[in-house]
Amino acid sequence: MQQVTKNVFAETKIRGCNPGYVITSDGVVVIDTPQLPTHAVKMREEAEKHGPIRYLINTEYHIDHIFGNYYFKSAEHVIAHQVTADNFMTVSPEINPFAYAKEAMPTDDPDGISIFPDEKTYFEDPNRPDIVITGDTTLKVGEHTFELLFTPGHTPGELAVYIPEERVVFASDTVFNGCQTWLYVSNIEQWIESLERLMGLDADVVIPGHGELCGKEQLYVQRAFLMEWKTALAVGVAKGWSKEECLAMAKKEFGSRFNVDIGQEYMLDHVIENNVNALYKRMTAAMA
């Protein structure tokens, strides 16, 4: 774990999201959990050296943010937005999140195979949220304030966690720093509004959902990148391009800009294709 401030720690060097924790005078608050079992267990053990885990906050429902909850059952409470709670490890025609997590084990966490549960055991108690919120919420834990900010865009239930005493914000996947942005179910207009909201925070450090720690300048870079994606696809649709023509353009324009985050570099074409599919479908539907 990387020490961000005196009381804030985050992990940016493993496959999955950037989880972390904050030490307070009344226990620990965890923000997201590692997807990989050995890292989840290690992070929990490190956090518990500083006191009981009072809250575990899940910032969104994607697998890399929530799968490791299974290994954090000592947490007193799990908090998430209603959308995250409703979609927690939900199997869909597009993806089985359990199978997706298991697929990463041989390459990214072979030592974790021995503590990776079978699917039936996992779903008996994956450690779902027991406190569900629908908008901004403020927690006081010890002498620390945790502002849970509703920042939809990447997902409809996205949260950021701002700790003013530390001048740090966990931005979750509202920010991808130096790696390819996943659009998929996103609403770019909402996403840009959420970035602009985070720009107003009095923070020195942004902990992105993916990539290295950064400052608030990355919020502007992320906004520009989203606007580029939106404009490029909008121009293609306006010209009457097929989805395949838009995909060819996107691979040329965006494929060489960033790799996908750690452990998923091989998925670059998949990410670009799904980004195009999502935006093209939305834009052509709006024109119908």
Tokens 């502007």: give the residue: 220
Mapped onto helix, strand or coil, the DSSP state of residue 33 is coil
Listed by start position, the domains of the chain span 2-223, 225-287
Give the neighbor-by-neighbor strand order of the sheet with 144-150. Answer: 137-141, 144-150, 159-163, 168-176, 205-210
Q: What tokens were used for 67?
A: 């799968």
Confidence of residue 4 (pLDDT cuts 50, 70, 90): very high
User: Percentage of residues in the chain with pLDDT exceeding 70?
Assistant: 99
**Confidence band for 79, pLDDT divided at 50, 70 and 90:** very high
- Would you say the pTM of this structure is higher than 0.85? yes
288: confidence class by pLDDT, cuts 50, 70, 90: low
Q: What is the pLDDT of the chain when averaged over all its residues?
A: 96
Strand partners, 172: 208
Does residue 286 sit in helix, strand or coil?
helix
Q: How far apart are the first and last CA of the chain?
A: 49
CATH of 2-223, one of 3.30.499.10, 3.60.15.10, 3.40.50.10490, 3.40.50.720: 3.60.15.10
pLDDT at position 283 is 92
